[in-house]
Structures are given as C-alpha cells and as structure tokens.
Amino acid sequence: MGTGLPALGYYNPVAVMDLCKYTAETDRILATLSGTITPLKGLVLKTVYGIDNMNVESISYQTPVTGDGYGSNGTATNTFNRPKRWTWTNTVNYNFTLLENLNFGLLGGTEEQRTMGNSWSGSKSNVSDPFFKTYQGSWVTAGMGGGGQYENFYISYFGRINFNYNKKYYIEASIRRDGYSGLSAGNKFGNFGGVSFMWNISNENFVANSSLSSIFSDIRLKASYGRVGNMSGVGSFSSLYLYSAGVYGAVPTLTYSQVGNADLKWEASNKYDIGLSFGLLKDKIQAELNYFNNDINDLILDVPQAPSKGVRETLYLLTLVQCTTGVSKFH
C-alpha cells in the first residue's frame, strides 16, 4: 500500500478512533443595531437590523489502514460553507387609554429577511506518503469538487390591535401577509391572522367580594383562533425543475436533479384553543385546563420519486387533520 503501516484488512474500531480525524470549526458573527423614537406619549417607532454570518470548515481524514478508507488507500475531505443572513424589522406601536378603563394597543410593521450562502468541497484519495493526513498533502487521486449556492428572501407585513376593559376583558386580533421567494409563482404570499379573548373572572365583584376569593385566585377563561403559516423545509428553489452540472469522464454534462412543483404554496393550519386557569390557596397550587384543535391544510411533504426517474424527492402539498387533544396541567 505504500503507507508504512500494516494493513488490517478488516474493520477495527480502535484503529479508526485513533487514526481517523473528523473536525469542524465555526466562526460566527451575530450583531444587532436598533433605534427607537417616541414622538408622542404612547407612540413608539422602532427599527432593528441584525446580521448572522457564519464560516464553517469541516475536515475529515480516513486512514488507509482500516475502516472506510481501506478500499481507497486513505481519503481526505475538506468542506467549507458560508451562510449569511440579514433581518430588518420596522414597527409602530401606539398605546393609549380612553375613559380611564378602556386600554388600547395598536401595532403595525414590516419585516424583511435575506438569506444567502455558498459552499465548496473537495476530496482526495490514495495517499502516496503516510506522513500527510490533510487535503493539502500528497495524494495520487483527486476527486471531483462540489459545492452549491442559494439565495432566498422573506417579507412580512403585520398588524395587531389589543383592547382591555378595566383589566377584566381582553381582546386581541392580528393579521399578517407573508411572502417567501422559494414558493411557486403566484403562491409566494399567504394571509394569516387570529383573534383571542380572555376574561379575568377573579376581578369580577361576584368573586372578589365573596368567599370564593379566599379559595381561588387569578381565575382566567381564555379562547383563541388563529390561522398560521409555515414554510419550514422549503428551500430556495423547491418549486423549480432543476438540472445540475457534472462531468462524465472528460465530457461536461447536465443531470436532471429535481422535479418541480408549480403549485407549491404556504402550509397553513387552523388552530382553536379554549382554556381555564386558576390558582388555589393564594397561588400555592396553580392549575390550567386546555382543549385545542389543530387542523393542518396543504401539508408540505417530501414525496419520494420512482428510482427509474433518477431524481430526488420533491415537495408536494397534502391535506392532513391532526388529532384533537385535551390537556390538563397542575403545578
């Protein structure tokens, strides 16, 4: 083999642990810059800009003595990945009170997010000198390099209003319009929102001025409905039909690598919730009873393709209704 080490010819985990190397090093910058202006009492204008930049280098070496590197007489691989993201959020928040007991809160804003990245990788095998255990060393065979590039954009417009009367009755409603570039043309935006209600029963006179107040505390009845969007698992180009470049021997090629989905859109779920929470013995015991229902529409799912197609899985939309569950908590 020319390595100067005895070839074992079988898998030896001790030798693999001692002679092989798998390392990863990450440099990351997280930074946030924000500014706030209060031109009027209760009115707050805020802007927040943040970045999240990373450099990730992964290095592996597989010994030619045994294990996965035995058949190739040793392998060295380097991978470098550089993901970047910036997020910019702007909000207007206004809180005011009318007639002493009517409390209002208004919020409106936008959020933008851009994510991009590039990566490369290289592999070499058949070590010519056992002294070298790195990619930059002396190797007979240089494998094909690889890598990738991606970019996606997310934008959201949102608003919220909340109201409470004398800290007894609380109502909150919100609406948002979200857009994501990785979804198909004509389906990149989705509309979502919800409404919630809470009744602080413990502040009612028939509780506060009765013997119930010595037994129960902080009694709250809550109910809510919301339509929530989700696009986790959707890549930058998940809706597109894609080809990948390659080489067959010395001939440049294109390979059909992804089946597109022209109908790929936001996954959405309708959530219903009702609950009752209260304390006993001056909050020494706290209890919460909840009933909720989660109905997922247009579930985003990876669907395997027939091996004869020669392509990877693609993202499809299915409809799923999750089970309804009642939950009780005591603590």
Pairing of strands 43-62, 75-98: antiparallel
**Which pLDDT value is given to residue 275?**
93
In a domain, residue 89? The reply is: yes
User: Exposed/middle/buried for 149, CB within 10 Å: 0-12, 13-18, 19+?
Assistant: exposed
pTM: 0.78
Decide if pLDDT at 1 tops 60.
Answer: no
Number of domains observed in the structure of the chain: 1
**Which pLDDT value is given to residue 316?**
55
In a domain, residue 196? The reply is: yes
What is the tens place of the pLDDT at every residue in 256-266?
778 888 889 99
From first CA to last CA, the distance across the chain in angstroms is 66
In a domain, residue 18? The reply is: no
Residue range of the domain that includes 144: 33-54+85-330
In a domain, residue 311? The reply is: yes
Cα(101)–Cα(25) distance, rounded to whole angstroms?
A: 57
**Which pLDDT value is given to residue 310?**
66
In a domain, residue 300? The reply is: yes
What is the tens place of the pLDDT at every residue in 146-204?
888 899 999 999 999 999 998 889 999 999 999 999 999 999 999 999 999 999 988 88
Confidence of residue 297 (pLDDT cuts 50, 70, 90): confident
In a domain, residue 247? The reply is: yes
In a domain, residue 69? The reply is: no
In a domain, residue 21? The reply is: no
Provide, rounded to the nearest whole percent, the portion of the chain with pLDDT above 70.
Answer: 89
Cα(32)–Cα(45) distance, rounded to whole angstroms?
A: 17
Residue 85 CB contacts under 8 Å (≥ 6 apart), including other chains: 51, 52, 53, 113, 114, 115, 116
* DSSP codes joined into one string, 42-107: TEEEEEEEEEEEEEEEEEEEE-SSSGGGTTTT-EEEEEEEEEEEEEEEEEEEEEEEETTTEEEEEE
Cα(109)–Cα(107) distance, rounded to whole angstroms?
A: 7
